[in-house]
Amino acid sequence: MDKTTVELVIVGKDHEGVVAGFTNFIFQNNGNIEKINQNVVKGLFGMYLEASFTKKLDVKKFSKEAEILAKNLRMEVNIHYEVSKRKRVAVLVTKEPHCLEAILDARMKGKIKGEIVVLIGTENTLESLAKKANIPFIMINEKDQAKAEQKIISVIKKFNVDLIVLARYMRILSPNFVWRYPNRVINIHPSLLPAFPGAFAYVQAYERGAKIVGCTAHYVTEDLDQGPIIFQDAFAIDEDETLESLKKKGQKLEASTLLEAVKMHLDGRLEVYWGKVHVKPKRSR
């Protein structure tokens, strides 16, 4: 029997009645709730709800009614329909090209299953790479992060994005943004988390005399650099290593680690439960 899976993310100021309102809405539409999770941080409420429908679902009608319900409850709702199709990917960047270049190279060689539909940059440094790859480039350089995120959300909706990849995007995303896309935002961190967190991981590793340096690709959560880990890799530090050579090796590893995590997600090999990523084995051809 065909089944339609719908993901709803509800975000807004915390108050009573939201959970009941949306769970009742699912039941009224003959749906079955598969997963539900909610959290409150500093008065901001976020709820993830996944429901399945065995009867044919009128998507337009369902979306319109869900948006009306959200408005009545003074909330915002994001809806994502899980269908069997090529995943649509948005890549967020700042100015470092190495991770983006690896993803675009894999795309050109047909090594990733997803379709990169848009690049979003905080500046226009990497716009030329987007033009060369014939991918739309949108610059969002708002200094106010809340305003920037609203614009990013609009772009994500416009391009019907399934996965967001942070390819050295050098801004911290707020819970208001992250909650909308649970297990759909992948970031690369230049450290074997949780060691050396923050923007100066290589400097810390170098100054502390680390003997091994690694990278971590993870899903983004509201807790900075603490999301479920997807993939990690590392390399040994030579005795005659300089900070510059360490950075070059690290950037190369960042690119390959992020790319591997993106591939696994697009291959449908990742499942997240109890805050941990479980990787399914590759299917034999």
Residues with active-site annotation: 225
For CA atoms 239, 240, 243, 248, give the dihedral sign.
Answer: negative
Task: Please write down the long-range contacts of 20-26, taking CB distance under 8 Å and 24 or more positions apart.
Answer: 21/69, 21/72, 21/73, 22/47, 22/49, 22/66, 22/69, 23/49, 25/65, 25/66, 25/69, 26/51
- Give which of 86, 96, 69, 28 is closest to 250, Cα–Cα: 96
Longest CA–CA span in the chain (Å) reads 67
Please work out, in degrees rounded to the nearest 5, the angle formed at the alpha carbon of residue 256 by the alpha carbons of 208 and 127.
105
- From the list 38, 35, 32, the residue with the least C-alpha distance to 18 is 38
Collect all residues with Cβ–Cβ distance below 8 Å to 154 and sequence separation of at least 6: none
- Alpha carbons 63 and 165: distance in angstroms, whole number: 26
Q: For 166, which DSSP code?
A: E
Q: How far is CA 253 from CA 7, 14, 132, 247, 256, in A?
A: 33, 41, 24, 10, 5
Pairing verdict, β 4-13 and 44-53: antiparallel
